[in-house]
C-alpha cells in the first residue's frame, strides 16, 4: 500500500488547494478527510486522485487500523466560523479532535502540521509575533480564536511530541475554492459579487481618527502561498513550533477593493458605511504578521503581492467560477 498521508479539511478552502499542490509536488497516497456530504464543497475535490476519502468522524478508527502506515498528518480541517458562539462546537471539532491527532503523531513519530490562526492574537495588544513566550497571555476576541489558542497553549505544554510539528497562524487568506464559505469568505470574494451586482462596493467607515475611511489594514495572503509555506515546512522540517503564515505586509481594504475593480477593468465606486455597533468595539484596524521566524528558517519564495493575488484570483477563477 505504501505510506499514507492524511489531509483533513480536504473538501474545504485551504485544504483543497493544499491537496492539489501536494499531489502536484509528487506526494502520493493522500487520504482525504472531511465531511464529504456537503454538496456546496463537491467541486473542491471532484476528480482528485486521492487514495481514499474518509469521513472526519471515522478518522480515529482509520488511524488505528493503519497506525504503522502513516507518513504525515496535515490537519487543516476546523470549524472556522467566527460568528459561532457555542464553545462546545469548538471544543469538539477544534480542540479535542486536534489533541487526538497530536497524540497519535507523538506516539508514532509522525510529522504533524496543523492550522492555528491569527485570530489567536486578539486585538493585537501583544503584537503579531509567533513567539511562544506570549501565547499564554493572548486574549482572542471570539470562541473560534480561543479554541485555536487553547490548542497552541496545550501543544507547547506537551512533553511527548510528534517528530516534527508546526502550528500555522493563518492571517487573512483568500483565493480559489472558497465559494462554499458564504459570509465567512474573503473580502475579495464579496467585493467581486457586490461589484457584479451593483457596480459598487461598500466598505466600513473608520471610527478611529488615526485611520482614514477604508484604510483599516490586514495582512492578506494568497492561498497558494499558504500551501507553499506548508510544503516548505514539511520538506525541510526546521525547529518545531508555531509559525505565522502571512506576507508580513499589511494592506488597506481600500487598496484591496481597488485591485478588484482594476482586475474587472472597472472604475472604482466605493461607498462607506458605519461599522455595525455590535462588532465595532472588537473590530481590528491593523494586523500584520511578523514573518521573521519562517524567513530565518530559509523560506525564500516571494509572496504574491495583493495586486498579483487579487488579479489572478479574479481573472482566472472568479470570473468564470473556476476551481483550483
Please give the positions annotated as active site: 144, 181
The DSSP symbol for 4 reads E
Dig out the grid coordinates for 315 from the structure.
481573472
Instruction: From residue 131, give the alpha-carbon distance in Å to each of 138, 141, 143, 222, 244.
Output: 11, 19, 22, 23, 9
| Cβ pair 288, 217 in contact under 8 A | yes
Q: What are phi and psi of 90, to 5 degrees?
A: -70, -35
CA distance readout (Å), 267 to 104, 196, 258: 53, 13, 8
Hey, what long-range contacts does 136-143 have (CB within 8 A, 24 or more apart)? 141/282, 142/82, 142/83, 142/85, 142/282, 143/84, 143/85, 143/86, 143/87, 143/90
Dihedral of CA atoms 249, 74, 91, 80 in degrees, nearest 10, equals: 40
CA gap 241, 247 in Å, rounded: 19
Burial class (CB in 10 A: 0-12, 13-18, 19+), 95: middle
Amino acid at each position: 500500500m505504501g505510506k499514507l498521508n492524511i489531509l483533513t479539511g480536504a473538501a474545504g478552502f485551504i485544504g483543497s488547494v493544499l491537496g492539489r499542490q501536494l499531489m502536484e509536488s509528487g506526494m502520493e497516497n493522500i487520504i482525504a478527510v472531511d465531511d464529504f456530504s456537503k454538496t456546496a464543497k463537491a467541486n473542491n475535490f471532484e476528480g482528485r486522485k486521492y487514495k481514499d476519502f474518509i469521513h472526519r468522524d471515522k478518522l480515529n478508527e482509520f488511524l488505528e487500523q493503519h497506525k504503522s502506515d502513516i507518513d504525515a498528518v496535515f490537519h487543516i480541517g476546523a470549524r472556522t466560523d467566527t460568528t459561532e458562539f457555542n464553545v462546545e462546537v469548538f471544543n469538539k471539532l477544534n480542540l479535542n479532535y486536534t489533541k487526538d491527532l497530536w497524540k497519535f503523531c507523538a506516539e508514532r513519530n509522525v510529522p504533524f502540521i496543523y492550522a492555528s490562526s491569527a485570530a489567536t492574537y486578539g486585538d493585537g495588544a501583544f503584537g503579531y509575533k509567533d513567539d511562544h513566550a506570549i501565547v499564554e497571555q493572548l486574549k482572542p476576541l471570539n470562541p473560534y480564536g480561543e479554541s485555536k489558542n487553547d490548542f497552541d497553549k496545550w501543544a507547547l505544554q506537551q512533553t511527548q511530541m510528534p517528530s516534527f510539528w508546526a502550528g500555522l497562524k493563518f492571517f487573512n487568506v483568500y483565493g480559489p475554492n472558497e465559494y462554499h464559505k458564504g459570509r465567512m469568505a474573503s473580502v475579495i470574494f464579496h467585493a467581486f459579487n457586490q461589484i457584479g451586482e451593483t457596480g459598487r462596493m461598500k466598505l466600513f467607515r473608520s471610527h478611529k481618527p488615526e485611520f482614514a475611511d477604508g484604510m483599516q489594514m490586514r495582512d492578506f495572503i494568497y492561498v497558494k502561498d499558504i500551501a507553499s509555506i506548508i510544503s516548505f515546512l514539511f520538506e525541510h522540517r526546521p525547529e518545531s513550533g508555531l509559525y505565522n503564515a502571512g506576507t508580513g505586509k499589511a494592506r488597506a481594504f481600500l487598496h484591496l477593493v481597488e485591485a478588484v475593480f482594476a482586475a474587472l477593468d472597472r472604475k472604482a465606486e466605493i461607498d462607506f458605511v458605519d461599522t455595525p455597533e455590535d462588532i465595532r468595539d472588537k473590530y481590528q484596524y491593523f494586523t500584520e504578521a511578523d514573518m521573521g521566524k519562517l524567513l530565518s528558517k530559509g523560506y525564500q519564495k516571494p509572496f504574491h503581492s495583493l495586486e498579483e493575488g487579487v488579479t489572478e484570483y479574479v481573472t482566472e477563477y472568479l470570473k468564470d467560477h473556476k476551481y483550483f
